Amino acid sequence: MSYAKHGLRLDLRTLILVLCALTALVMLCASYFASYRVQRQLLIDHALEANRVYAMKLATITETFIGNAQQQLSFSAGMQGRQLADAGALQAETDRVLSQSMAFNSTFVLDANGVLLAISPAPLRHLVGSRMHSPGVQEALHERRPLVSTPYVSVANNLVVALSQPIFDSNGRYLGYVGGSLYLRERNILNSLLGEHFYKDGSYLYVVDRNRRLLYHPDSQRVGTVVEGNALIDQLATLGSGTRQVTNSQGVEMLAGFATVRSAGWGVVAQQPLAQTVAPLNRLILNVVGTSVPLALVGSLLLWWLAMTIARPLWQLAAGARSMDHAGTAERLRRVPAWYFEAAELKRALLFGLNLLQERIGRLNRDAQTDPLTGLGNRRSLEFGLSLLEAEGRAFAAIVVDIDHFKRVNDSHGHEVGDQVLRRLAELMRRCCREGDLLCRTGGEEFLMLLPGASLEVATVVAERLRVTVQDTPVAPVGAVTVSLGVARWDGQAGSEPGDALSEADRALYRAKQEGRNRVVIGT
């Protein structure tokens, strides 16, 4: 006897506890992992898109700057073509271009043979009359068109990028060109445009030319160097713009967005470290796990209590059956091969407990289909009602009801007042519906009314009556509460499902919310 008691109480309870604990643990781990993976990818996608937009913005700014600078040089080239023999006028115009826009570190004029005719600022004027042999000069003399040069070292030992405009006389004869240079290792307007947008979260941007040479970088020591081992830069000319998760030349995994400055053949890359992007998510997951520990302890206590509750009635039914002596029960149980004590005890208890069990099953079935807070049907009740209507092919109208600004009620007055509002709405729904209508609570503040056989017109009247009733029935201490309602109808015809009407009613509710709330919107 004691062994049977010990076995029943220990084994069944332990099995329930272990099964529930393992299930809860697996579900928690799966939910944490899935949430982490989804949120991590969302963070990465958002960072990539933000960097792409940022790079495109700066590429557009740079494109605009180059276009404006070329226009200034073009205007100056027209002026210089008429006064190429006047050294004073050339120098004055060169000074004007430099001082007017502040776009260049220096401006200059060369003739068709590469001889420097004028230059500004003043410290460089000792070079006037010299023939220039730098790669940028030779490129401009050879191309004889508006040009943005590749980086080169000037005669003044500056790493520069030069913008140039050819000079032609009235007969179209090439006379030379006017140019403006940007000193890449000194402060210039391009550095100002790009450097003002440097963030403090590890994000930065850089600019490279078509030869992978850095034109701008937050680390000025790297300006002018050629970037090796970066797949993104190798493909920048063909990709145009977009996003890429790459490992940079220092071995750091980065989230990069890029765009090109087409007029110059430059690439603008904005990027941030992957580790810093997902760091907030790691902290968030740890916080969630920490918050879940007390809930897990409460859940463990609840599981223990449930296990005790489930095991105790079984033993009590068997113990009660031992004290009962009913001839009919004994006759039927005698045919069962009860070869161990617990089975014999349960057999004698089955007939006695049958009625009680049936009553309990009926009560559990009702409870399973009833929302405990409002007394309305729950989703299971809704699914059962829909299946009956579909089986009968009976048309119905659906009204989806949602309390406006319900979160504000909870935040301002607490969940107890929020529960009071939900119960009051359920009461008003019962008051406004027809006999035979099915009322359900489908979510936190969402409710559904199924009106079998009702037309859209009838359902709209019911919905409007409910809306006005709710609006005119204040709930202390909240005051006036409003609801938004979406109405749709299922005609019961083949080819459509009841769920289509519910989806249409949901869309109508969404439009009601968009149009200002406290209204009834009929689905199309």
First to last CA, the chain: 70
Q: Other C-beta atoms within 10 Å of 157: how many?
A: 7
Q: Are 154 and 140 within 8 A, CB to CB? A: no
Residues in Cβ contact with 177 at an 8 Å cutoff, skipping those fewer than 6 apart: 77, 109, 110, 140, 141, 144, 164, 165, 166, 167
The beta strand positions in 97-173, using DSSP E, are: 106-111, 116-120, 147-148, 152-153, 159-168
143 annotated active-site:
no
Residues in Cβ contact with 168 at an 8 Å cutoff, skipping those fewer than 6 apart: 81, 174, 175
Q: Are 121 and 188 within 8 A, CB to CB? A: no
Question: Residue 312 to residues 8, 13, 308, 317, 324: CA-CA distances in angstroms?
Answer: 10, 9, 6, 9, 19
Residue of 438, 431, 520 lying closest to 469 (CA atoms): 431
SS3 category, 524: coil
Handedness of CA 471, 473, 475, 478 (dihedral sign): positive
CA distance 382 to 447: 11
Active-site option among 445, 457, 497, 515: 445
Q: Other C-beta atoms within 10 Å of 339: how many?
A: 7
Q: Other C-beta atoms within 10 Å of 85: how many?
A: 8
CA distance 520 to 463: 7
Q: Are 478 and 415 within 8 A, CB to CB? A: no
Phi, psi (rounded to 5 degrees) for 444: -55, -65
Q: What residues act catalytically?
A: 445
